[in-house]
Amino acid sequence: MSDTLPRLLLRNAERWGDGRVALREKERGIWRETTWAAYLENVRRFALGLIQLGFERGDKLAIVGDNRPEWVVAELAAQALGGASVGLYQDAVAAELAFVIDHSDARIVVVEDQEQVDKLLEARSRIPRVKKIVYYDPRGLRSYARDTLLPFTDVQRLGDGVPTGRFAQELARGRAGDLALICYTSGTTGEPKGAMLTHENMTRMAGNLMSVDPVGERDEFVSFLPLAWIGEQMMSVAAALTVGFAVNFPEEPDTVQQNIREIGPHVMFAPPRIWENLLSTVQVKIEDSPWLKRRFYDLALKIGYERAARAFARARPGALGRVREAAADVLVLAPLKDSLGLSRLRRAYTGGAALGPDAFRFFHALGVNLKQIYGQTEIAGISVLHRDGEVKFETVGKPIPETEVRISDSGEIVSRSPSVFQGYYKNPEATAKSLRDGWLHSGDSGLIDEDGHLVVIDRMADVMTLADGSKFSPQYIENKLKFSPYVKEAVVVGQDRPFVGALVNIDMANVGKWAETRQITYTTYTDLAQKAQVYELVSRHVDRVNRELPRAAKIARFVLLHKELDPDDEELTRTRKVRRRFVEERYADLIAGLYGERAEILVETEVRYQTGKATVMRVPLRVHTMEHERVA
């Protein structure tokens, strides 16, 4: 029943040939189409070229770059030859790339452009096994005379020298149980681990997901999140091949928003930060708009919120309600959705982390069917999701078919399904820890509510206890803080401390705009973050958040950080999750200062420029104590 991913491609190419678009990429201002037949042809030629380069069954092909057709072509070519692809995050620094490439034993690396080539050359002593680097954007690489480097099209041309029958033979040898990809999870702790997933893992997950939430073969999907991430693999490769919908690749990372609008996708899958960004964009633009527009927006959104609330309670609207809602839709909500490119959207998913209920409610008010999904890389991405019409903010929904989810005696969420991974590559200890008797141990604590929905509380290890013994979930508070367009990131602390404190990153774009309209001048991020008015602004928001928090969990003090938390500084993972342990260690002095007596903390920070030069700055950071909160 299950098949390999490249054989699904063959099936689709036989079924639709040149009659239907499989991939689309915007290039030089025009959406350029690749049909199913051309897609297969590209994969075939690249696969044959890989054979010429010495790629063998069981080999790994590392791939790093923005989302482009070449990325998935390279992946499927490797899989067609019985190999596995290893996706890397394109913004990873040289050392991170080198670690994963070396650990995965890849001998050929496919990269996008000069930027990635430079990183690999910088780290070449640490990746001795790599013998070929294949690139698909030649810009700036002309002067790189090295025999390890060759362009993507040259590999395809090499392939033209191999009899075409070889491709079909290789394809026929593939088994559904073969390794298809190794997905390295950055993890919020420690070194990356490579989760091994088979073709069957991927196709079964896609089949199960599609049986709950069908996507039509004529639907559109925009692929804009890193293809190294399991969520993007799941949609752009596994589900797209299973169903046959079209995958669209944006022109550049900067144009994603415009490109989404041009395509008008029917289904979208994004981590919370993307939804939070969308929300902030709307909020800021509305704040900038004239009084009348603002009034209309407020009014329509209020009606939207009521409709959403009623839908969640499964009540029917009255006649008057229907008229009001239709008016709100026509006048405000539909045009707003259109401007975000969400008009045709039937389903939208958020996953990878928790999205705050306020953001959730906002999208439902607009009429976007946003649903939470839950899963791990180790279970091919998705194991649990909201069913249509059964969205509950505080839950992540119900397991997809063929999937069992239960809560272990220690309160941990464990699951079992045909999509559970084969273990971590070359890491049996880690495998033994998370895979016990076929059950995947998530490390998340959770419970199952009266409707059978799974509720995720927090990472098991993250739930914190104050000195007086009261427990709180830092993530829950952080999500509330991040609902403000002015807050980009927040780290809540308080383990064994007398009260809850927060390190807050302001959103430079939005706070900058806010400051400009109030004629507050500033120079750098640090300068802006330390303005008294900005502290006032954030403190008003913290006050609102505090009102919704239980007494013990109220934020008593906060600091606005002098720099943005950055994956390059290892403070965030490549999927932009806070690496809590690391941040707490790195900012130990600052956190100690939060619980001290001083109103200002002096921090030393090293600033590294692109040139490699570094300087140490000493900046004083204000500590803001909330009024009315207990600071004992």
Partner 1 sequence: MSAQFSAADLHLRFGGVVALAGVSIDVERGEIFAIIGPNGAGKTSLLNAVCRLYRPQRGRITFEGRDISGLAPHRVAKLGIARTFQNIELFAGMSVLDNLMLGRHVHMRSGVLDDAIYWGRARAEEIRNREVVEDIIDFLEIEHIRRRVVGTLPYGLQKRVELGRALAVEPRLLLLDEPMAGMNLEEKEDMARFVLDINEERGVTVVLIEHDMGVVMDISSHVAVLDFGKKIAQGTPDQVRADPNVIKAYLGEESEAIRAAERAVAAEPVA
Give me the residues that bind partner 1 (CB under 8 A), please.
Answer: 27-29, 139-140, 142-143, 251-252, 254-255, 258, 609-611
Q: From the CB of 340, what's the least distance to partner 1, in Å?
A: 16
Q: From the CB of 142, what's the least distance to partner 1, in Å?
A: 7
290, amino acid identity: P
Question: Which residue in this structure is represented by tokens 């020298």?
Answer: 161
Q: What is the DSSP letter of 160?
A: T
| Cα 579 to Cα 421: distance, rounded to the nearest angstrom | 24
Q: From the CB of 252, what's the least distance to partner 1, in Å?
A: 5
3-state secondary structure 269-306: EECHHHHHHHHHHHHHHHHHCCHHHHHHHHHHHHHHHH
Task: Name beta bridge partners: 455.
Answer: 447
The dihedral sign for the CA sequence 332, 335, 337, 340: negative
| Cα 522 to Cα 425: distance, rounded to the nearest angstrom | 49
* Nearest residue (CB) to partner 1, 125 versus 143: 143
Q: From the CB of 27, what's the least distance to partner 1, in Å?
A: 8
Q: What is the DSSP string of 462-509?
A: G-EE-TTS-EE-HHHHHHHHHTSTTEEEEEEE-TTSSSEEEEEEE-HH
* Nearest residue (CB) to partner 1, 258 versus 605: 258
* Nearest residue (CB) to partner 1, 141 versus 460: 141
Question: Which residue in this structure is represented by tokens 């272990």?
Answer: 408
CA nearest neighbour of 486 among 524, 539, 526, 523:
539
Q: From the CB of 407, what's the least distance to partner 1, in Å?
A: 46
| Cα 90 to Cα 228: distance, rounded to the nearest angstrom | 8
Measured in degrees and rounded to the nearest 5, phi and psi for residue 74 equal: -60, -45
Q: From the CB of 542, what's the least distance to partner 1, in Å?
A: 31
* Nearest residue (CB) to partner 1, 24 versus 307: 24
Termini Cα distance of the chain: 64
Question: Which residue in this structure is represented by tokens 């007494």?
Answer: 551
* Nearest residue (CB) to partner 1, 254 versus 597: 254
Dihedral angle at the C-alpha atoms of 446, 448, 449, 452, nearest 10 degrees?
A: 150
Q: From the CB of 231, what's the least distance to partner 1, in Å?
A: 24
Q: From the CB of 91, what's the least distance to partner 1, in Å?
A: 16
Beta-strand relationship, 471-472 and 500-506:
unpaired
* Nearest residue (CB) to partner 1, 277 versus 422: 277
| Cα 547 to Cα 560: distance, rounded to the nearest angstrom | 20
H or E segment and range at residue 598: none
Cβ atoms of residues 198 and 177 within 8 Å: yes
Question: Which residue in this structure is represented by tokens 């259109």?
Answer: 338
CA nearest neighbour of 306 among 293, 321, 319:
321
Q: From the CB of 610, what's the least distance to partner 1, in Å?
A: 5
* Nearest residue (CB) to partner 1, 113 versus 178: 113
CA angle (553 as vertex; 550, 557 as ends), nearest 5: 130
Q: From the CB of 346, what's the least distance to partner 1, in Å?
A: 28
Q: From the CB of 436, what's the least distance to partner 1, in Å?
A: 48
* Nearest residue (CB) to partner 1, 170 versus 251: 251
| Cα 83 to Cα 133: distance, rounded to the nearest angstrom | 17
Question: Which residue in this structure is represented by tokens 């989302």?
Answer: 67
CA nearest neighbour of 136 among 53, 63, 56, 35:
63
491, amino acid identity: V
Q: From the CB of 115, what's the least distance to partner 1, in Å?
A: 11
The dihedral sign for the CA sequence 569, 571, 575, 581: positive
* Nearest residue (CB) to partner 1, 140 versus 318: 140
525, amino acid identity: Y
Q: From the CB of 512, what's the least distance to partner 1, in Å?
A: 11
